[in-house]
């Protein structure tokens, strides 16, 4: 008798879950605070070898509205002593790690609380994201989000936007970085994807340049030789060329003065 009753309840529970599931899915598409939902889409790689896909589908995801600030990173190193400047292992961050901070727990003059944190390695960025319950965006996710101009999701149709990008990419970063969120938000409501810093992505080391198996010296020419850009998808997208070149020059322990990050999350 008891057994039969248990059986019954189990079924009821099962049905309830099945009924609630679509609802739950509906709820999940709302991005967590501080993040926005970037609808899925298609990313068309700038560089393709013959064996690469022409279009890469990207699932919807959440992305931080702003890059991580010095204040945010301070919380992280407070909570995780092994990521403090004096304690970090050389394997995970080179000797430039957080070098503009005044002390382990004090960003100081050169790094205002509201400015994006830079001089952080890929490992540190990844550890921050994990600590925050998030992850780093992938290259395709980042590029999809960053392709949007202030007025439209596909910024490549916006000449004004492309001109702005080119201007930023041809001007050096200021010694002391300005605060986040001063520029216009893009179509998705995201700030500072361009014009403030470069950003780490989870799979930065998939940007192939050297030492590859199958004739990627061709790819290398495309990246670094001016005339090579004629072979690429969009010759006007100078900014994207710069990003690819930059990513492929990075190593995971590098800490650079204008390289920070923001986090992403699955929806």
Name the DSSP letter for residue 187: T
Is position 152 an interface residue for another protein (rule: CB under 8 A)? no
Calpha distance 51→78 (Å, rounded):
46
Candidates 1, 19, 27, 213: give the one binding another protein (CB under 8 A): 213
Is position 89 an interface residue for another protein (rule: CB under 8 A)? yes
Q: How many residues at the interface with another protein, by CB under 8 A? A: 29
Contact 263, 76 (CB under 8 A): no
Which residue lies nearer to another protein by CB, 131 or 168? 131
Is position 52 an interface residue for another protein (rule: CB under 8 A)? yes
Is position 53 an interface residue for another protein (rule: CB under 8 A)? yes
What Å distances lie between residue 21 and 14, 60, 230, CA to CA?
11, 19, 49
Q: How far is the CB of 23 from another protein (least distance, A)?
A: 28
Choose the binding region for another protein from 34-42, 48-56, 71-79, 154-162 (rule: CB under 8 A): 48-56
Is position 264 an interface residue for another protein (rule: CB under 8 A)? no
Residue 121, SS3 per DSSP: coil
Neighbours of 211 (CB within 10 A): 8
Candidates 46, 49, 104, 232: give the one binding another protein (CB under 8 A): 49
Sign of the dihedral defined by the CA atoms of residues 113, 115, 121, 123, in that order? positive
Is position 205 an interface residue for another protein (rule: CB under 8 A)? yes
Which of left, alpha, beta for 133 (phi over 0: left; psi -120 to 50: alpha)?
left
Q: What residues make contact with another protein under the rule CB under 8 A?
A: 49, 51-53, 82, 89-92, 122-123, 126, 202-214, 216, 248, 251-252
């Amino acid at each position: 008798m008891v057994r039969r009753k248990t059986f019954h309840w189990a079924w009821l529970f099962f049905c309830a879950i099945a009924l609630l599931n679509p609802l739950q899915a509906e709820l999940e598409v709302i991005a967590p605070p501080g993040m926005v939902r970037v609808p899925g889409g298609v990313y068309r790689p700038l560089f393709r070898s013959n064996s690469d896909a022409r279009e890469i589908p990207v699932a919807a995801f959440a992305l931080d509205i702003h890059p991580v600030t010095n204040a945010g990173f301070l919380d992280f190193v407070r909570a995780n002593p092994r990521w403090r400047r004096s304690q970090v292992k050389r394997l995970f961050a080179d000797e430039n790690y957080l070098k503009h901070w005044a002390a382990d727990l004090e960003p100081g003059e050169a790094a205002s609380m509201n400015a994006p944190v830079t001089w952080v390695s890929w490992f540190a960025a990844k550890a921050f994201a994990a600590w925050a319950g998030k992850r780093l965006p992938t290259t395709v996710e980042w590029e999809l989000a960053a392709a949007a101009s202030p007025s439209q999701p596909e910024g490549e149709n916006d000449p004004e936007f492309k001109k702005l990008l080119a201007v930023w990419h041809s001007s050096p970063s200021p010694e002391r970085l300005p605060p986040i969120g001063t520029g216009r938000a893009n179509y998705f409501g995201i700030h500072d994807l361009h014009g403030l810093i470069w950003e780490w992505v989870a799979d930065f080391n998939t940007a192939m340049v050297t030492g590859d198996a199958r004739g990627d010296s061709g790819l290398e020419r495309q990246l670094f030789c001016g005339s090579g850009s004629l072979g690429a998808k969009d010759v006007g997208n100078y900014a994207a060329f710069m990003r690819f070149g930059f990513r492929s020059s990075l190593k995971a322990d590098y800490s650079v003065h204008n390289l920070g990050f923001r986090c992403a999350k699955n929806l």
